[in-house]
């Protein structure tokens, strides 16, 4: 049996669907951004866990861009997929769309990138499979994720040694 060194990106794809209830809303009748971020974190964790087939933890959340409000009563669809994996970490791309059930209209509402680390049973970082992008879109995301990883590593270095 040949052991594969990677997994195709689409195998980590997740779509999570939630309805925005009144308890999720703010005084404007829209959902709190933090609630959407919580759902995004869950969808990303499922995607990363699906790719790694291990326990995963959130290492970072890149800037979350809220581009449109989500109203109470709408349905939220969160799409997540692993774009790139290094030795123990994975970038998961996220897109959030709101669906108005009355009209059937979908609106892009938020996007973000997260980094997850896989853990072994001893709680230490553990190797993950490489991502094998297949489609032109997956290949584009893969290359862009590599560039974002370099920026994240530079930022992490600055945060560890703020005097430099």
The tens digit of pLDDT for each residue in 94-129 reads: 999 999 999 999 999 999 999 999 999 999 999 999
Flag whether pLDDT at 1 surpasses 50.
no
Q: Is residue 158 very low, low, confident or very high in pLDDT (cuts 50, 70, 90)? A: confident
Cβ pair 49, 97 in contact under 8 A = no
- More reliable by pLDDT, 11 or 163: 11
- More reliable by pLDDT, 161 or 43: 43
Q: What value does the mean pLDDT take over residues 60-84?
A: 96
* 17's tokens: 């669907």
- The candidate with the shortest Cα–Cα distance to 44, out of 112, 119, 100, is 112
* Four-way CATH pick for 6-160: 3.30.499.10, 3.10.129.10, 3.90.1150.10, 3.40.50.300: 3.10.129.10
Query: Cβ contacts of residue 39 below 8 Å, gap of 6+?
Result: 16, 18, 76, 78, 96
Flag whether pLDDT at 48 surpasses 80.
yes
Please report, for the chain, the start and end positions of each structural domain, with discontinuous segments joined by +: 6-160
Flag whether pLDDT at 3 surpasses 70.
no
Q: Which pLDDT value is given to residue 159?
A: 85
């Amino acid at each position: 049996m040949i052991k594969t060194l990677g997994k195709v990106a689409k195998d980590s794809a997740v779509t999570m669907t939630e309805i925005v209830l009144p308890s999720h809303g703010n005084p404007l009748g829209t959902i709190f951004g933090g609630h959407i971020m919580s759902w995004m974190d869950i969808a990303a964790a499922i995607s990363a866990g699906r790719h790694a087939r291990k326990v995963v933890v959130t290492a970072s959340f890149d800037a979350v861009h809220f581009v449109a409000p989500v109203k109470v009563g709408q349905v939220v669809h969160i799409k997540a997929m692993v774009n790139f994996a290094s030795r123990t970490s994975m970038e998961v791309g996220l897109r959030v769309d709101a669906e108005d059930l009355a009209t059937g209209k979908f609106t892009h509402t938020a996007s973000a990138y997260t980094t997850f680390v896989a853990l072994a049973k001893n709680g230490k970082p553990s190797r993950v499979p490489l991502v094998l992008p297949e489609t032109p879109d997956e290949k584009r995301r893969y290359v862009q994720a590599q560039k974002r990883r370099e920026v994240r590593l530079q930022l992490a270095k600055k945060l560890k040694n703020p005097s430099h």
